[in-house]
Amino acid sequence: MELLRVWLLKVPLTLAALSVGLFPTIAFSQAPFYQGKTITILNGNEPGGTGDMRMRALIPFLKKYLPGDPAVVAEFMPGGGGRKLANHISKVARPDGLTLGFPPGGFIASAVLGETGVDYDLNKLIFVGSPESSTHYVFLTRKESGLTSIEKLWAAPNLRIGAQSVGHTVYIVGRLFSYILRLKEPRFVTGYSGPEIDLALMRGEVDARANIADTVLKRNPEFMEKGLVDMHAIIEIPKGNKHPRFAQLAEVDAFIKSDRERKIVDLFRSLRLVGSPYILPPGTPRERVEILRDAFQMVYKDQDFRKGYKKLVGDDPSPLTGPEIERAIQGLPREASILEIFKQVTGPGPLPPA
């Protein structure tokens, strides 16, 4: 009986060993899903701008941390402040985990405000992560415009303000500055990429623009070194987050004169704290979503990524996870009267009266 008991105990081990030799595909886990695959990142920004640099900083590290070492390629699909790309991800892209969208953050505002051209549902899009949440925006004018003080800026009518497209974050920020600073009938000139606005500013095609503070320092250091522009105001996101090079600039809150204006600026800050997230189509298999989210998290913790991001973009990453983005969107202010004014401030028509 004792010999029989020992033999019975050995049988499972023997069978397990045989199964390893005879059925290797059963004994070992399957190859990673992304092995031999190609992931396409669709970028809703123009090539050469800050959004492009943020993506370029990410791609080599995403390859590093995705199991299976897939190829990662980029394509560009600008338009509608991110609405074109968000619509494509929602309605056209296959939900197979192989297509990621990276629209500018304005697509979130467009959906919250019920803008035209929004055919996507924020509650159905899948958020993977965002490389940035905190930031600073500055409003500047061309030195040769002669607007060397806030008083001269207030007195200048029909200021031409450059931007990419209606709904783009830079367009929205330019409109917001114009509204809070009470500029006289400004005109908004769109159709540029980010670097093209800078060239148009220097050529005198536009008089002013809004931009990310660190982008100005990184992409156009001569603006500051040669005194080619005048800086007028800054928006801190979150409020109180001082920029080391522009701490002397007046924060936009200093120009607010009503509770309504304060709520408008607070709504903008809340929208921008969501950042510019990477998104997946509705219906993407959950296990692939988690693989991508985990990879993004590892990228954001990588010190070499942070150094490379700083070098390319000019500022430090301030990442958000997919679930954090979802919670932030759910918590956005939804006061109907404020949303209506905000829609006028950030839309294509005339600015509402202050």
Provide the whole-model pTM. Answer: 0.82
Q: Is residue 25 part of a domain?
A: no
Do 309 and 246 fall into the same domain?
no
Dihedral of the CA atoms 47, 48, 51, 52 (nearest 10)?
A: 70
So what's the pLDDT on residue 31? 77
Domain count along the chain: 2
CATH code, 161: 3.40.190.10
Q: Is residue 32 part of a domain?
A: no
Q: Is residue 20 part of a domain?
A: no
Do 211 and 314 fall into the same domain?
no
Q: Is residue 11 part of a domain?
A: no
Do 219 and 341 fall into the same domain?
yes
Do 156 and 255 fall into the same domain?
yes
Q: Is residue 26 part of a domain?
A: no
Q: Is residue 9 part of a domain?
A: no
The CA-CA-CA angle for residues 89, 293, 113, to 5°, reads 45
Do 123 and 172 fall into the same domain?
no
**What residues are paired with 236 via a beta bridge?**
136
Residue 146 CA, distance from chain mean position:
33
Host domain of residue 302: 38-132+276-332
Do 193 and 342 fall into the same domain?
yes
So what's the pLDDT on residue 30? 64
Digits of tens for pLDDT over the chain (354 positions)?
A: 443 333 334 444 444 444 444 444 443 446 799 999 999 999 999 999 999 999 999 999 999 999 999 999 999 999 999 999 999 999 999 999 999 999 999 999 999 999 999 999 999 999 999 999 999 999 999 999 999 999 999 999 999 999 999 999 999 999 999 999 999 999 999 999 999 999 999 999 999 999 999 999 999 999 999 999 999 999 999 999 999 999 999 999 999 999 999 999 999 999 998 889 999 999 999 999 999 999 999 999 999 999 999 999 998 999 999 999 999 999 888 899 999 999 999 999 999 987
Q: Is the peptide bond before 238 cis (omega within 30 degrees of 0)?
A: yes
Do 223 and 184 fall into the same domain?
yes
Do 341 and 193 fall into the same domain?
yes
So what's the pLDDT on residue 275? 87
CATH code, 121: 3.40.190.150
CA gap 228, 324 in Å, rounded: 40
Do 211 and 342 fall into the same domain?
yes
Q: Is 59:87 a contact under the CB 8 Å cutoff?
A: no
Do 297 and 209 fall into the same domain?
no
Q: Is residue 28 part of a domain?
A: no
Do 75 and 104 fall into the same domain?
yes
Do 233 and 299 fall into the same domain?
no
